[in-house]
Chain A
Amino acid sequence: MRRFLARLLSLLNVGAAERELAREIESHITLIEDDFLRRGYSPADAKLAARRAYGGVEQAKELHREARSFQAVEHFLKDLRYGARNLLRTPGFTGIAIITLALGIGANTAVFTVVNAVLMRPLSYQDPDRLVTLLHNGTGPVAVANYIDWRDQSRSFETMAAAEYWTANLTGGDQPEHVAGLQMTQNLLPMLGVNPLHGRLFIKGEDLKGADHSVILSHRLWQRSFSGDPAILGKPISLNGEPYTVVGIMPPDFRFAPFWATRAEFWVPLAFGDRVLARGGNSLRVFARLKPDVTLQQARAEITSITERLERQYPGTNRRVVVTPLKENVVGKVETPLLVLLCAVGFVLLIACANVAHMLLARTSDRQREIAVRTALGASRARVISQLLTENLLLSAIGGCAGFLLALWGTKALVALSPAKLPRLENIAIDAHAILFLSAITVFTAIVFGLAPAMHAAALNLSGALKEGGRSGTDGARRNRLRGFLVASEFALAFMLLIGAGLMIRSFSALHSVDPGFKSNNLLSMVVSVAGSNEAEPARREVFYRQLVEQVRALPGVQSASGINHLPLAGDLWEWNFVVEGRSKPRPGEFPSAAYRIAMPGYFETMGIPLLRGRTINDSDHASAPGVVVINESAAQEYWPGEDPVGKRITFEANNDQPIWLTVIGIAANAKQYDWRSKIYPEVYLSALQNRGFLTSMRGPYLTLVVRTAGNPADMAPAIRRTVWSFNRNLPVSDVLTMDRVIADATAQPRFEMLLLAVFAGVALILAAVGIYGVVSYSIARRRHEIGIRLSLGASRGNVLQMLLRQGLKQALIGAAAGVLGALLLSRLMTNMLYAVEPTDPLTFIAVALVLAVSAILATWLPARRAVRIEPMLALRNE
């Protein structure tokens, strides 16, 4: 080690070492001279004798240098200069190789950056691997009393905390705003191990009724509504008309919660109040931190035994409670697609390597003479290989630099393209990890594409290569095998990529042709929240909603308008249990249940949801009229199979002795609910004018307006907003969205995946086609002589063309066969990403095989046709 350092130092300090050496040699010779003088030599003779005794001064210096320094490094620098000269001499080759490598390296770095940010480091909390969630079936919310029992009875957790989604009208800032936030138990933020930027976190007792009116702001909300003014600390702001004191401001990169309610921009304490005994109404998300010595399995076992006990005590309340690592909740959905993308982009790099490899192979054939001369002059084989590898390293380093620029741009493009739901999107940037990765694949690339050609070059037959005109008629079998292997593997990789992309395209077109159940064109929606305003008063709310819808309808350019509690695909989804009149009361946990929407008159007409039977909700379905409900087709099939549900009655108040009965008045077609891909669950629509909860509750005091317009829907937004504000200037209007946009967002992730895979597959196809074209035309060029002989001996052009095609296509065929096997194995990984398409979809496989076959034939045929057109005599004379 010490010697290593010394050598390194001397490398940096060559001049000093050289001077020292010269001085020492001089003194040495002087000493010898003195001896000779003392023995009686004449000064001139002594000088000569001393020189002779010493030996060659330059040789001594060289020996000294060799021992002193890294010869390897000096060789390397020499090779580098030599390599650079070589690359500059063939700018065409160098340019293409660099572009190919830059594409491969850049795309890989960009995808790696995203994968690294999203999958490897998704949570910016302290010790995030110890954080877990406790939810029904791993995702479903939890009732307050259950959370309290789990918290008090379990011993596996350091802390257990809970949060609940809450939206509020924020007034007192720069403008009224409907913002999403969370209510959380006081211990939640300390459990995450985060610190506020300003102020403090919630303190003990702050989540008790009466003490709970404090708020912590996100950095974004603080910047947006309070211009980042730190003086807001300690001052009250108004949420839903009530004063909340700002106690803290979080740093810019803080997000909570990471997998649900991701838009939360403020946090307030959660006071359970009289809900501590509630086991119905699941609304909490429960988070916990495992004790250091407790494993996930132990915690799971404990929670299972606690919930089984509670389930016996309170049937139907504690089913299937699953402890899941928080990280899994966050990245679970995107893990497979991202890994598939990483795999795909890795294939692109391998194809790029294969391409550069046979370009190099062709080049080394042309450089045989040069290498032979160097070998003949005494360069060892290792020296020749290391020279070639250095040249390759230089090539891939330049490719890597260009790739870095490409990755800078590519990462931005990826983030811009990616679905907004991708977790931790804001963290994605090229960092030290990405640069390390880039350097690693750059070196890896140089070795992969460069080693085989370099070994080949060094194994050249010396005398053969040096002979005048010593170019052999055809290449050696080994070299041909290597070329064939490269082409075949390119085709195999390209095949697998194209299958991936093909499956995604098929799946996406299947997704896209799905009928959302409503007519999304010319449809605009926006949320109007009355929380905290006079319009929220139960007496005024109904009037306001009706008048608002009426006035919007009267706007020029509006064809129809209505309202709903939660918009399909964009809004929340509530579910409720009900019982059907005349049927026996079901056991707990076995109630029929349905998604639950509350619609204003005219909703179905405005949305364009077809009515299958009966009638829709209209103005006559008001508070004093009999209760009505419209159900969707799925509910009719599920709960009234073989019966006509119209006229039947249901109630949501199973435990009430005198329940409010709702008569089914119509069946509407299925409309998309929460997720574009999932099947449609039973759904019921209640009349907003009859729903006291909707008109009086403080927990969801907002209406989603839906407006069908004559022209571009987005153009109508300002007029509608003005109409809202003509009632009250303090009513926030948010989530202004066209339904086309809502659908685009709902299919954003599959579109993103499809787009990327298609781009990678396209690049792969081009690279593979260029590869085979290059190989075939090169080998044909080298066989001109042979072709000339064949032609002059009487072979027809057709015969020769056939021969060349057969040889070229054989490799493509072998590659495609390997590709089919690989694709069959790998496409199974994509099962979860596909919609209505099997991973072994025959149509995709056939189409891909055809595309590849056509490109292989073209890439072979073009150079082959040129070759057989030559005059045989010309080709022969040319040699």
Chain B
Amino acid sequence: MPSEDPGRITVLQGTLDLIVLRTLQSMGPQHAYAIATRLQQVSEDLLHLNQGTLYPALVRLEQQGRIKGAWGKTEHNRDAKFYSITEAGAKALTEETLRWRRMAGLVDKLLSEGA
């Protein structure tokens, strides 16, 4: 099972939302497959996820009004649902990023000092 590979990271609860938002902000409207591919590329395959597991995050974000989904055509003329970040999503991303940085800094500090 891939999840037993020690080098891979399991996604922390809640951080997936942040990553999806960030991806949509930097790349513009994307469909779920593109988002998943992009995640894998950026993380250099450290971050592994079944592509289906993206859906809860997408639904959650859509219900919160942070992203919006609309059906469109891919460059190869396939039907796909494209998600784009909303204004509220952009705002939430700024806040969450800040919070994440603070949190990560804190954890990092604690880990290095506590040793």
Contacts and interface: CB of A to CB of B under 8 A. Distances in A.
Interface of A: 2-3, 6-7, 21, 23-25, 27-28, 30-32, 34, 53-57, 59-60, 63-64, 66-68
B35 to A, nearest CB: 10
A33 B2 CA distance: 21
A67 B55 contact: yes
A64 B56 contact: yes
B76 A59 contact: no
Contacts of A60: 50, 52-53, 55
B51 A53 contact: yes
B78 A31 contact: yes
Q: Which residue, A7, A31, A53, has most C-beta atoms of chain B within 10 A?
A: A31
B38 interface: no
Nearest to B79: A27
B81 A24 contact: yes
Given A24-B32, A27-B78, A31-B78, A64 B59 contact: yes
For chain B, what secondary structure do more than half of its interface residues adopt (helix, strand, loop), or is it mixed? helix
Given A55-B52, A55-B53, A27 B65 contact: no
Q: Which residue, A27, A32, A57, A68, has most C-beta atoms of chain B within 10 A?
A: A27
A706 B43 CA distance: 107
A802 to B, nearest CB: 63
Contact of B55 (A6, A27, A30, A63): A63
B31 A27 contact: yes
Interface string B4-38: 00000000000000000000000000011110000
A7 B79 CA distance: 26
Interface of B: 31-34, 50-53, 55-57, 59-60, 62-65, 74, 76, 78-81
A283 B21 CA distance: 83
B55 A64 contact: yes
8 contacts: A23-B81, A24-B32, A28-B51, A28-B80, A31-B33, A53-B51, A60-B52, A67-B56
A56 B33 contact: no
A59 B78 contact: no
Nearest to A2: B65
Contacts of A56: 50, 52
B59 A27 contact: no
Contacts of B51: 28, 32, 53-55
A66 B33 contact: no
B53 A63 contact: yes
A86 to B, nearest CB: 33
Contacts of A6: 62-63
Contacts of A68: 59, 63
Contacts of A57: 52
Contacts of B59: 64, 67-68
B53 to A, nearest CB: 6
A54 B50 contact: yes
B61 to A, nearest CB: 10
Given A3-B63, A64-B59, A32 B50 contact: no
A27 B80 contact: yes
B45 to A, nearest CB: 13
Contacts of A63: 52-53, 55-56
Nearest to B52: A60
Contacts of B63: 2-3, 6-7, 68
B50 A55 contact: yes
Given A2-B65, A7-B63, A68-B59, A31 B52 contact: no
A369 to B, nearest CB: 37
A69 to B, nearest CB: 10
A55 to B, nearest CB: 3
Contacts of B62: 6
Contacts of A7: 63
A27 B31 CA distance: 9
Given A2-B63, A27-B80, A55-B50, 17 more contacts: A3-B64, A6-B63, A24-B32, A27-B79, A28-B31, A31-B31, A31-B74, A31-B78, A31-B80, A34-B78, A54-B51, A54-B52, A57-B52, A59-B50, A66-B56, A67-B59, A67-B60
A203 to B, nearest CB: 61
A63 B55 CA distance: 7
Nearest to A59: B52
Contacts of A25: 52
A404 B36 CA distance: 57
Contacts of A67: 55-57, 59-60
A31 B54 CA distance: 15
Nearest to A57: B52
Contacts of A53: 51
B76 A34 contact: yes
Contacts of B79: 23, 27
A2 B62 CA distance: 10
A57 B74 CA distance: 22
A30 B74 CA distance: 11
Nearest to A52: B50
Nearest to A9: B63
A32 B53 contact: no
B27 to A, nearest CB: 15
